[in-house]
């Protein structure tokens, strides 16, 4: 996202509240999760607005929250309505379309002002969260999938991230150590869990190591993943300008599919000691603990 600037009314017209509601509904509509017997819709939505836009709407936030929840419920009803042709066809099918439902008991919708001052007037960021049920038969525990949709001017982009909750459980000892210098000084970070995200952070970018640097370093630049079975670490590049391992660029860990940033499973094994470069700007010294 570009640096904040002051826009004229012609450049950044006020976004009507009804358009904000529709953007949340659209986020839900595009981020359904099919299961065997039902399809889940994300239950939690955090909507970030430019500070001036939030100030304008702050007095009606309770009404806005209520009407957004109502609009989400109405959309679910529409999605579940079956045409006569579909109902007739289902008589001959053993697997009718599963019901679409809220993944939780109620909708959770929050409206907040951009805390980092990165958004331009008229921008809109929607961060939705879906708790996916555990699948013991597949060896998969409970996961949280986050979808971030950014509306900036006429451009809309989407970023998807799924986090395995088992990977975030605190470990009893120091697994590795990262040492680096950024614009805020010298830092030492002890790795105590199986997944550590590195970047500048910001709205909807909950990084573990927040780098104070130029925009060359991405909000969510790279991730370290530890394989609990082997104890080995892997490096995943999530950036725009690249990540290096001992001076060599590693392959990108995500694909851009129709404007959506989706991780593709590509990762690079880390040796016991290594230098990790972020956009050839910040360099972290990595060392495993034995």
| 3 state SS for 130-147 | EEECCEHHHCECCEEEEE
Q: pTM for this structure?
A: 0.66
Direct distance between the N- and C-terminal alpha carbons of the chain, in angstroms, rounded to an integer: 40
Mean pLDDT of all residues belonging to the chain? 85
Backbone angles phi, psi at 227, to 5 degrees: -80, 115
Q: Region 205-228: what's the mean pLDDT? A: 92
Contact yes or no for 24/126 (Cβ under 8 A): yes
- Tell me, what's the pLDDT at 163? 66
- Tell me, what's the pLDDT at 133? 65
Architecture of domain 17-164: 2-Layer Sandwich (3.30)
| 3-state class percentages of the chain: helix first, strand second, coil last, to nearest 5 | 20, 40, 40
Residues of the chain with CATH 2.60.200.20: 169-288
Bridge partners of 41? Answer: 102
- pLDDT(290) > 60: yes
Q: Which of 134-138, 201-205, 220-224, 239-243 has the lowest mean pLDDT?
A: 134-138
Q: What angle do CA 28, 112, 54 make, to 5 degrees?
A: 110
- Tell me, what's the pLDDT at 85? 56
Contact yes or no for 123/50 (Cβ under 8 A): yes
Instruction: Report the distance separating Cα 21 and Cα 47, nearest Å.
Output: 10
Residues of the chain with CATH 3.30.2320.60: 17-164
In CATH, 169-288 is 2.60.200.20: yes
- Tell me, what's the pLDDT at 3? 45
- pLDDT(183) > 90: yes
Phi-psi region of 149 (alpha: psi -120 to 50; beta: other; left: phi over 0): beta
Q: Region 208-224: what's the mean pLDDT? A: 94
- pLDDT(8) > 50: no
**Per-residue pLDDT tens digits for 107-153:** 999 999 988 887 888 889 998 988 776 655 545 556 778 888 888 87
- Tell me, what's the pLDDT at 173? 87
Q: Region 57-67: what's the mean pLDDT? A: 95
């Amino acid at each position: 996202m570009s640096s904040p600037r002051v826009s004229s009314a012609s450049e950044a017209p006020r976004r009507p509240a009804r358009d904000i509601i529709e953007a949340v509904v659209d986020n839900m509509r595009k981020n359904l999760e099919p299961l065997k017997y039902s399809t889940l819709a994300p239950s939690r939505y955090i909507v970030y607005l430019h500070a001036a836009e939030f100030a304008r709407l702050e007095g009606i936030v309770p009404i806005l929250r209520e009407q957004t929840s109502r609009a989400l419920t109405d959309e679910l009803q529409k999605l579940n309505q079956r045409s006569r042709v579909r109902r007739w066809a289902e008589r001959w099918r053993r697997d009718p379309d599963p019901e679409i439902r809220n993944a939780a008991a109620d909708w959770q919708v929050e409206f907040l002002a951009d805390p980092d001052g990165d958004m331009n007037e008229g921008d809109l960021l929607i961060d939705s969260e879906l708790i996916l049920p555990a699948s013991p038969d597949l060896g998969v525990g409970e996961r949280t999938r986050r979808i971030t949709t950014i509306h900036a001017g006429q451009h809309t982009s989407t970023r998807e991230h799924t986090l395995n909750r088992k990977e975030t459980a605190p470990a009893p000892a120091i697994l590795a150590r990262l040492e680096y210098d950024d614009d805020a000084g010298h830092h030492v970070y002890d790795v105590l869990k199986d997944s550590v995200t590195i970047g500048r952070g910001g709205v909807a970018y909950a990084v573990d190591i927040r780098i104070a640097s130029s925009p060359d370093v991405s909000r969510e630049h790279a991730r370290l993943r530890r394989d609990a079975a082997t104890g080995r670490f892997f490096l995943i590049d999530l950036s725009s300008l690249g990540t290096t391992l001992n001076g060599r660029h590693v392959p990108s860990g995500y694909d851009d599919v129709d404007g959506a940033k989706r991780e593709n499973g590509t990762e690079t094994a880390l040796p016991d000691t290594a230098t990790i470069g972020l956009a050839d700007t910040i360099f972290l010294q990595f060392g495993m603990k034995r």
